[in-house]
Amino acid sequence: AHILTEWFIRYKAKIQYMSLPNILLNSAIIPEALFQSCEPANLALLLKDLIHDHVCREKQILSAQKFVKLLMPSERINQNLAKQSLTGKCPDYSPSVVAALTILNYGKPVIHD
């Protein structure tokens, strides 16, 4: 990206991370090589660290599991989906919809029945 584009995005960004897993987990678990730092040498270093650093790799695997859980429909949604499928209504709970709902509801308090 052009240096002015990079500056503008960094200046206007309200979030600390760019990748969805990092945003939702509020952690830099997935290395982000953005803009000027997205070069073959930097990417190779990031991959080398991931391959050779067992602790780093294990953290990333555990975080990936947490991230996938965040994208899965909650138990309440699953129950509602089961009820609605019996009545012939079938809402869209595709991964993209679940991801969008997760982002929209990120940080909001969870209401339990």
Tell me phi and psi for residue 14, to 5 degrees: -105, 0
- For the entire predicted model, the pTM comes to 0.57
Sequence-separated contacts (24+) of 39-42 with Cβ below 8 Å: none
Domain limits, the chain: 1-71, 73-113
How many residues can be counted in the chain? 113
Ranges of the chain whose pLDDT falls below 70:
1, 10-13, 73, 76-93, 107-113
| pLDDT score of 44 | 94
Contacts of 26 (CB under 8 A, 6+ apart): 16, 17
| pLDDT score of 16 | 80
Does residue 95 contact residue 102 with C-beta atoms inside 8 Å?
Answer: no
Does residue 60 contact residue 47 with C-beta atoms inside 8 Å?
Answer: no
Euclidean distance between CA atoms 104 and 109, whole angstroms: 12
